[in-house]
Amino acid sequence: MNASAGPLTLAARHLVPIEGPPVSPGRLTIEAGRIVALEPGTPRPGDLDLGSVAILPGLVNCHVHLDLPPLGGPPAGVVDLASWLEHIVNRRAAWAPRQAIAQVEAGIAASMRSGTTLLADITPAGLSWDALAASPIRAVVFAELIGLRRERAMATSAQAFEWLGQIRRSGFDRGRLRPGLSPHAPYSTVGWLYERAAAAGVPLSTHLAESPAETEFLNAGTGPLRAFLERIGAWPDDAWAPLGPRPADYIRKGALKQADWIVAHGTYLDESDFWQLRPQAAPSGQRVAVAYCPRSTAYFGHGPHPFAAMIERGIAVALGTDSLASTPSLSILDEIRWLHQRHPELPAQLLLLMGTLAGAWALRFDDEVGSLVPGKRADLAVVSVDPTSDEPAQAVVAGRGPVIGTMVDGTWVYGPCST
Ligand SMILES: [Zn+2]
């Protein structure tokens, strides 16, 4: 289906707009790549009748590393973060760039097959940009900044800022694909790199409060993360001091609180720091959101994650998969269903919001996508549901039906009419 081919009406058992009540059965009309109408009703002649499906906004993966392959590591719950990081560092050193690009391309295809239309990719020096530019998907590409040792910090920042300069000179920084920066984590990245990133005027993301070891490291400079840094030769000989004793200091100190932040994980953020993450705390209109990666958190035996308490305190919590090195698939729908199985008490509608609009808001794409609203772009995920289902959001999160179609800008990028 070509976006310029005139209006198209999709008929479905359920429409789940996220902003607004479900419509069952419903008809959704698209023209010139945008949603023009949602209405109740059964299929009419000329409609594309998709049958027993729920049409959702395209899913949003708010934290992924597309270039990291599966590692085939130890079973879930017995992996410590420092050992895993060491494994990644060693594996990464052996990869040819071409292998990493092929992994990125496979990750983009897997994302589209699972209904994802917008993602936040963390990548060395903008590595995934060209592959994402060649695909139809929307993304923020966060170039990674890393290093406690001065020479490593200087090298990664030079690469990342050179890449950012190229993107800006090309004028290609506000559309479907946008650049960001990602200081890796407080235990791996010196404070001035966080401050340099915050001055760049682009969205930022960082791994924060992912493990108890991080808090120990910031408080005392000891523990398994310190031992890991020494083993791989990354511990600085020159003086190092954290920005503060708490992980939240890395998004709130000085100018850091002026920037937009996607906080990956946030599992061990102290409850007394939650107010730092509330949008209301930001006079500049700063957006801060937590990207909770449910199966990755479980893989490391971390948690329980305080996402429900965060939501109750007004924090935007979106969902991410993290990489294939710590989660079995790049599917946000799989993450939602996994979460539903463990938290059946949570409203299905809330889980779907976390996987759609919350992420779009965090990435500042919410004016265009993230919900099914007339005027927004037609980015859709079409999920097969039980034909007898009468609770639309529940049918998606409690069901096992696959994604059968994904649309970006009114064009199928996966099934049912993409060929
Ligand atoms: Zn990550």
| Beta-carbon neighbours within 5 Å of ion ligand 1 | 322
Number of structural domains found in the chain: 2
What is the H or E stretch that residue 192 is in?
Answer: helix 191-198
User: In 82-137, at which residue ranges do the beta strands (DSSP E only) sit?
Assistant: 116-123
DSSP code, position 147 = B
In a domain, 147, yes or no: yes
Residues of the domain holding 377: 8-56+370-414
Q: How far apart are CA 135 and CA 120, in angstroms?
A: 14
Residue appearing with tokens 């993966």: 61
- Ligand 1 centroid to residue 213 C-alpha, Å: 16
- Ligand 1 centroid to residue 372 C-alpha, Å: 29
Domain-ending residue, one of 342, 362, 382? 362
Give CA 96 to chain center in angstroms.
Answer: 25
In a domain, 3, yes or no: no
pTM: 0.95
What does the pLDDT read at residue 91?
A: 75
- Ligand 1 centroid to residue 389 C-alpha, Å: 36
The enclosing domain of 310 has a CATH number of 3.20.20.140
pLDDT tens-place values along the chain, 419 residues long:
444 468 999 999 999 999 999 999 999 999 999 999 999 999 999 999 999 999 999 999 999 999 988 876 655 555 788 888 887 777 777 778 788 999 999 999 999 999 999 999 999 989 999 999 999 999 999 999 999 999 999 999 999 999 999 999 987 767 899 999 999 999 999 999 999 999 999 999 999 999 999 999 999 989 999 998 988 888 987 678 999 999 999 998 888 988 999 999 999 999 999 988 876 555 567 899 999 999 999 988 888 999 999 999 999 999 999 999 889 999 999 999 999 999 999 999 999 999 999 999 999 999 999 999 999 999 999 999 999 999 999 999 999 999 999 999 999 999 986 64
Strands 316-319 and 288-292: parallel
Q: Are residues 34 and 63 in the same domain?
A: no
Q: Are residues 199 and 329 in the same domain?
A: yes
Q: Are residues 63 and 167 in the same domain?
A: yes
What does the pLDDT read at residue 71?
A: 74
CB 145 within 8 A of CB 197: yes
In a domain, 419, yes or no: no
CB 17 within 8 A of CB 54: no
- Ligand 1 centroid to residue 64 C-alpha, Å: 6
Handedness of CA 76, 82, 85, 90 (dihedral sign): negative
- Ligand 1 centroid to residue 301 C-alpha, Å: 15
DSSP code, position 58 = P
Angle value at C-alpha 34, between 355 and 22, nearest 5 degrees = 50
